Amino acid sequence: MEQFTQAQIDALSTFVDPDRFSTGQSNRELHIKDISPHRGKLPAGVIWPTRTEEVAAILTYTYAQGIPVTPWGAGTSTEGNPLPMRGGLVMDMTRMNRIIAIRPQDLQADVQPGVFRKTLNAQTGRSGLFFPPDPGADATIGGMIANNASGVQTIRYGATKDYVMRLVVVLPDGRVIHTGGKAHKSSSGYDLTRLFVGSEGTLGVVTEATLKLAGIPVAHLAATATFDSLEAASETVAVLMGSGLAPAALELLTPELIALMNREKELGLAEKPSLFCEFHGISEAVLTETAAMAETLCRDGGARGFTTGVKERERKELWRARHEAWETIHRAYPGRETLIVDAAVPISSYPQMVLFSQRQLDEKKAVGFVFGHAGDGNLHVVMVGDPADEAEWATLEAINHNIVHRAVEVGGTCTGEHGIGVGKRQFMQLEHGEGYALMKQIKDLMDPKGLMNPEKMFL
Ligand SMILES: Cc1cc2nc3c(=O)[nH]c(=O)nc-3n(C[C@H](O)[C@H](O)[C@H](O)COP(=O)(O)OP(=O)(O)OC[C@H]3O[C@@H](n4cnc5c(N)ncnc54)[C@H](O)[C@@H]3O)c2cc1C
């Protein structure tokens, strides 16, 4: 659906202020692309609600009219998750961006979904608290909830699902429900909160969330360990995770990626298979002891170099460089698109997955970079190519396919954090078997007309 009728434009205009509904070409074009190679269909219009009541009125109307609706956060997804594949209405949540309350005594915050993660953390930081899930990109809370986003610190602090306590959700037909509550525990009924977390906007629109917060750690310490082989580096991951040292981040990087980062940021890092680690603690003294133990374990695992105690500015620069790995790769290959593998496996299988992935790239002579949130078994392979070059892109797809199949064989998943969107639908049956059919039934029950974020998650 690329055009509304005049009657539909008139009706939609009544639900929000005049500057919050647009059928203008540029606004529509701004909502057809995330960072994936996928493209949505040009939507007929974009609407920016600010209140639950507005969302409910809009969805009641669109449902009756059979208009597809796709929620949009910051548009930083990697799998086409927020793209309007059937056009219709894009519901851009970024003006629904009020921090309703920060309640330090409860370690909680109540927010609207369009609040950006960094904005929230700037505010909660005044009370010594933070919202730990960190996808690198400055995403909205609604987008993070919908994708169950996580990131480098998930091994210590958990993913978004671990921080969502209560939601207000508008269902596809306009009904408003709330899930969960503000108590730290509950055994009451089905866990509907967890059903919506990770549902990628296919079951309804989140209009409010109560989030758990954590205390900002007093002391931080970054360390890098360099190895002669990728195998030794990845095998040391399980040792560090089982050591009781509780790293707050544990990332694996290949020499090829580090070389690219060095070139771009002048970091001067050794271009060797490396582990970037971070530890959080109650004092510098505790962290010094922790680092000494980590160094012993890394050296036992074959590390040739181990550097700690980098200053705060350098520590931030190191993590910024790691967070910007995708942008760095993208900039190095202008005009190319990226296909991102996001498999996650039990950590005992991590070394074989890393080696398998690197071998796939080498054997098929594909341009790609292996790295990942090693501590939680999450493997990224960012492959570079031109989707218009059918043979080249088919090779990248084949590598993606082979890695995901291997990951599922060892009990893993096709996506540790990016979600299914458009790009990973092909793996849902493989990964979930009969559970996939049940997911489809749940979708049909809640959205019988198939209008909420259509053509996502299910083939
Ligand atoms: C450089 C880079 C690095 C990244 N690294 C990571 C990483 O380490 N870990 C990680 O998890 N992700 C990562 N991502 C992916 C991305 O940032 C996350 O998935 C993020 O959660 C997307 O949030 P968003 O606000 O951009 O949402 P969008 O991309 O706009 O939307 C995401 C999904 O949420 C739905 N949605 C949005 N708002 C609502 C709402 N209010 N109610 C219901 N559904 C809604 C959309 O329909 C869509 O399905 C990275 C992205 C980039 C660009």
Query: Which of 279, 298, 326 is at the close of a domain?
Result: 326
In a domain, 168, yes or no: yes
CA of 39 to the centre of ligand 1 (A): 16
Binning pLDDT at 50, 70 and 90, where does residue 311 land? confident
Ligand 1 pocket, 453 CB below 6 A?
yes
Please choose, from the candidates 264, 331, 130, 245, the residue with its C-alpha nearest in 3D space to the C-alpha of residue 275: 245
| Count of alpha carbons within 13 angstroms of residue 382, beta-carbon side | 24
Cα dihedral 289, 290, 295, 301 in deg (nearest 10): 140
pLDDT at 309 over 80: no
CA of 286 to the centre of ligand 1 (A): 36
Please choose, from the candidates 163, 215, 153, 168, the residue with its C-alpha nearest in 3D space to the C-alpha of residue 184: 163
pLDDT at 310 over 70: no
Residue-wise pLDDT for 37-72, tens only, equals 999 999 999 999 999 999 999 999 999 999 999 999
Whether residue 247 contacts residue 230, with contact meaning beta carbons closer than 8 Å, is answered with no
- Burial label for 418, CB within 10 Å (0-12, 13-18, 19+), is buried
CATH number at residue 64: 3.30.43.10
Whether residue 214 contacts residue 162, with contact meaning beta carbons closer than 8 Å, is answered with no
In a domain, 455, yes or no: no
Pocket test for ligand 1, best of 70, 77, 160, 457 (most atoms within 8 A of CB): 77
Q: Are residues 31 and 105 in the same domain?
A: no
pLDDT at 320 over 90: no
pLDDT score for 14: 98
**At 167, is the secondary structure helix, strand, or coil?**
strand
pLDDT at 121 over 70: yes
pLDDT at 313 over 90: no
In a domain, 262, yes or no: yes
Q: Are residues 205 and 295 in the same domain?
A: no
Q: Are residues 228 and 283 in the same domain?
A: yes
CA of 235 to the centre of ligand 1 (A): 31
**Cβ atoms within 10 Å of 390's Cβ, excluding its own:** 9
pLDDT score for 431: 98
Share of the chain above pLDDT 70, in %: 100
Ligand 1 pocket, 74 CB below 6 A?
yes
Beta-carbon contacts of 126 under 8 Å, excluding residues fewer than 6 positions away, are none
Tokens of 458: 């299910």
Rounded CA-CA distance 379/50 in Å is 37
Q: How many domains does the chain have?
A: 4
Query: Which of 326, 342, 359 is at the close of a domain?
Result: 326
- Give the residue numbers spanning the domain of 201: 99-215
**Cβ atoms within 10 Å of 40's Cβ, excluding its own:** 23
Binning pLDDT at 50, 70 and 90, where does residue 96 land? very high
CA 270, 274, 275 angle in degrees (round to 5)?
A: 135
Residue-wise pLDDT for 238-291, tens only, equals 999 999 999 999 999 999 999 999 998 888 899 999 999 999 999 999 999 999
pLDDT at 316 over 90: no
CA of 144 to the centre of ligand 1 (A): 5
CATH number at residue 307: 3.30.70.2190
What integer best gives the mean pLDDT of the chain? 96
Indicate which atom in ligand 1 lies nearest the CA of residue 141.
25
CATH number at residue 398: 3.30.70.2740
What is the β-pairing status of strands 89-92 and 249-253?
unpaired
Task: Report the phi/psi class of residue 335: left, alpha or beta, with left for phi > 0 and alpha for psi in -120 to 50.
Answer: left
| Residue nearest to ligand 1 atom 44, measured at CA | 201
- Cα-trace Rg, the chain: 22
pTM over 0.95: yes
Rounded CA-CA distance 240/374 in Å is 11
Rounded to the nearest 10 degrees, the angle between the axes of helix 312-323 and helix 325-332 is: 60
Q: Are residues 141 and 89 in the same domain?
A: no
pLDDT score for 11: 98
Rounded CA-CA distance 70/453 in Å is 4
Please choose, from the candidates 324, 342, 319, 164, the residue with its C-alpha nearest in 3D space to the C-alpha of residue 249: 319
Which residue is associated with the tokens 């760095």? 328
Tokens of 201: 């906007």
pLDDT at 213 over 70: yes
Q: Are residues 337 and 430 in the same domain?
A: yes
The phi, psi pair for 68, rounded to 5°, reads -65, 140
In a domain, 451, yes or no: no
| Residue nearest to ligand 1 atom 46, measured at CA | 82
Q: Are residues 108 and 86 in the same domain?
A: no
pLDDT score for 6: 98
* DSSP letter for each residue of 72-107: ESSS--SSSTT--TT-SEEEE-TT---EEEEEGGGT
In a domain, 447, yes or no: no
Ligand 1 pocket, 72 CB below 6 A?
yes
Ligand 1 pocket, 82 CB below 6 A?
yes
Indicate which atom in ligand 1 lies nearest the CA of residue 140.
25
Taking the alpha carbons at both ends of the chain, their separation in whole angstroms is: 19
In a domain, 199, yes or no: yes
Helix (H) / strand (E) containing 406: helix 390-409
Whether residue 193 contacts residue 154, with contact meaning beta carbons closer than 8 Å, is answered with no
Rounded average pLDDT over 292-297: 97
CA of 305 to the centre of ligand 1 (A): 36
Whether residue 237 contacts residue 350, with contact meaning beta carbons closer than 8 Å, is answered with yes
Q: Are residues 164 and 227 in the same domain?
A: no
